[in-house]
Structure 1
């Protein structure tokens, strides 16, 4: 897990809490801010997921190439 995945999920959860709090007190402004934060968090988490996938692919490629050089 990388920092974008963690921060994104945290922002998403915080946004959900903010949305629910806004609903509880009848503040459409807080609900909207909560929805915005949820969306931003989801995007940031997806960026982290993509980054991790690229890093994993690069790690696999390095491992394969190392094996090829060693005659494996």
Structure 2
């Protein structure tokens, strides 16, 4: 999976989580600023987690050292 796909999935998840958390906080009777602040923070955490898991690593594979036989 390439980076663009991971960011796209993460952006959709960010929006969904943002709206869900904002609606939950609104149910507690909190103000609009707190609703969207909490939703934005939760959404960004979800975005970072999804991109971190789905985006391919840019680190090259490390060669496996040959086993040495000591007698």
Bin for the TM-score computed over the shorter chain: 0.3 to 0.5
**TM-score, reference length from structure 1:** 0.44
Higher helix share: 1
Relative contact order higher in (CA < 8 Å, ≥ 6 apart): 2
- Report which of the two structures shows the higher radius of gyration computed on alpha carbons: 2
TM-score (norm 2): 0.45
